[in-house]
Every structure is written in structure tokens, then in C-alpha cells.
Structure 1
């Protein structure tokens, strides 16, 4: 399995670079260029409001602002969840790619297989927020870096668990395999 990952390593690095390029382009856009509210209003209209009853009871502090449907309105609050889901999801994908790209560098050291890709993803998240701060109408948030970092760490842990499971399964079914 390690040999197979090593052969595919360049593709994981390319995938990580593509994700980072998308993030760089995204953080270069102003909020007005990026907002999904007109799309949501156009496609959900004023009558169809999915998750309305669920969302109306939710409120919490995120950064220096209290987020709630009462404070923000339905479409802004829904967009908040979409945007934060995109943060988590994008760094989840980046976490998988970095974990697989760096996997063979730390033979036998599970701690480094977790820590290094996580720190790379967290550093990229911090850089992305810094870059976003240079864009008009956008503000960098430590909370977004934390959310990104948690997305990457979640992906890394799941990826490593799957790889460990695969390795044990291969060992069990191919005890004389030289791939370990």
C-alpha cells in the first residue's frame, strides 16, 4: 500500500495545489462578488424556506457577532451556514490530500502523519485569512482559521483510520505480501 501511495503522491500534491488555488481566487473576491444571497432569494423565493423552523431557534456567538435568524434574516443566516460549511468542507478535502501526499514520509510515526499535514493545512488557512484581509469588503477571522483547521484534522484522522484498516485487511488476506 505504501508503494502505491508513493506512486500516486504527485497527484495528491497537484490536488492540494488546485484546492489552494481555488481558495486563493476565492479569498481575492469581495463579499459582493461572492455572496449567494441573490441566488438563494431567486431560487427559494419568499414562500419556500427550507430549514426555517430549525434555523429560527438557533443563535450563537461567532467572532464578534451574535449569529441568528432574528438578527440576520433568513437568507443571510442560511448563507452563513453555507459559507462556514464551505470552509470546513474545503479544508476537509485539503486535509485528505495533504495526508495522502505526506503519508510515506513518516514511516511508522503516526503522530507526524497527523501533525505535519494538519499544521500545513492550518498554516494555509491562516495565510488564506491574511490574504482575505487584503481584499476589500472582507475581514480575516481567527474563528475561520480554527474551523478550517478542524475540517483538515477531521479529514486527516478519518483518512489515517481508513488506511490503517486497509493495511490490516491486506495483511490478514495477503500475509506474505512484500508491500509493507
Structure 2
């Protein structure tokens, strides 16, 4: 699982922005685009660009899809690393610290790699999005496992 996550991260990281641009496809879903436009106004600056649900809903949707994908993939990477480290015998807090450091290193290398790809940028803020995915999945792991164990009577 760790290798699958790493392969996905670096495969997509090496693609130029034009290969990942979803705005035309998003634009084909007029009802969704209109629903986003009808939301209360949301506008902010990210990487020197304005992200605004009313001025350009296709960009707004694409922004959140891309950040959401990073969040989920890095969360899964962290859980996969945790599983691998647990299987190797590392326990407790040290395991989570090691997994977090590994996720951080991969996120930094991913952003650095993107700086050499046409149309892509590497941003320190994106590393924080990746780490937020890791920490969120870590924090959700324990209550989810606890619920499953109770349900199964373990």
C-alpha cells in the first residue's frame, strides 16, 4: 500500500498542469457549477491567484478537488506507513512520529518535484494540506477502529 501511494503521488506530480486540468469537464456539469455559484460568496487568495466561487466556479471546484485529493492520498499514505511500521515492530508514539516525518519528507519532495514540471508550482502551504490529511486520518483512525470493534463484539 505504501508503494501504491508513493507511485500515485509521484506519477501525478510529474504530470504537467494541462494533463490534470479538469475545468472543461467540470464546466460540462452546469447544474453543479450553478449550485457552487449560488453558494454564499467565498473568495480568497492562494498562490497569488484569487479563488472565488462566484467569479470562476470551475476553478473553485477544481481547487477543492485537487486539495481534497492531496488530503486523502497523504492520509492514506500515513496509515499505510503506520501499518508497515507496526508490522516491523515499532510501537506507540514513535511509530506515529516516524510516519509523520516520512509523510512530511514525501510532501516536500513532491512539491519540489512539481517546481520542475510545466504549469505546476511547489508551495509550502500544500505541504501543510498534505500533513493535515495525515493528522486527520491518524486522529480518525482510533475512533473508527473502536466503533468497528464494538460492532463486531471484539
TM-score, normalisation: structure 1: 0.73
In the TM superposition, residue 133 of structure 1 has moved relative to its aligned partner by 0.9
In the TM superposition, residue 68 of structure 1 has moved relative to its aligned partner by 1.8
Aligned mates of 2:33, 2:136 — CA distance in 1:
33
Aligned residues: 150
Aligned to 2:35: 50
Aligned to 2:84: 101
CA contact (8 A) 1:117 1:156 kept: no
Larger Rg: 1
CA contact (8 A) 1:41 1:75 kept: yes
In the TM superposition, residue 52 of structure 1 has moved relative to its aligned partner by 2.5
Unaligned runs of 5+ in 1: 1-14, 174-180
Aligned to 2:14: 28
Aligned to 1:134: 116
TM-score, normalisation: structure 2: 0.84
The ranges of structure 1 where at least 4 consecutive aligned residues each deviate by more than 6 angstroms after the TM superposition are none
Residue of 63, 67, 70 corresponding to 2:51: 67
In the TM superposition, residue 48 of structure 1 has moved relative to its aligned partner by 5.4
In the TM superposition, residue 70 of structure 1 has moved relative to its aligned partner by 4.8
Matching of residues 6-25 of structure 1 within 5 Å? 15-25=1-11
Aligned alpha-carbon RMSD (Å): 2.5
Matching of residues 126-165 of structure 1 within 5 Å? 126-162=108-144, 165=146
